[in-house]
Amino acid sequence: MDVIPRVVTYLPQHRPAVVELSERAWEPVFAQLRENVPSYVYNAFYPRGWWERQQHDIETLLDEEAEQTLVALIGDEVCGWVSVRLHKEDSMGEIYIL
């Protein structure tokens, strides 16, 4: 049987799951990035490691732009999330992070 996630507005109780899901999703990406860019470049962007900076950016987004964030749930479990930015000046939008 297929399970179709339901999409809901982000709520503060979703935060731990969103942060944890993000770390699991991006860990392999950043591991590959570290292998494929010069170490001085990687270290300039992530002097304390990629996760510290990424976690800070995610948590800041959730604190400051929660109203533009949606989460996908299967039952009560977060299985995905997305945050968008809407630009009034040109009536454009972007998927900011997912």
The predicted model scores a pTM of 0.84
Model confidence over 61-97: pLDDT tens digits?
Answer: 999 999 999 999 999 999 999 999 988 899 899 998 8
Q: Which residues contact 61 (CB under 8 A, 6 or more apart)?
A: 69, 83, 96, 97
Tell me which H or E stretch contains 96: strand 92-97
In the predicted model, is pLDDT for residue 1 greater than 80?
A: no
Q: Are 85 and 68 in contact (CB under 8 A)?
A: yes
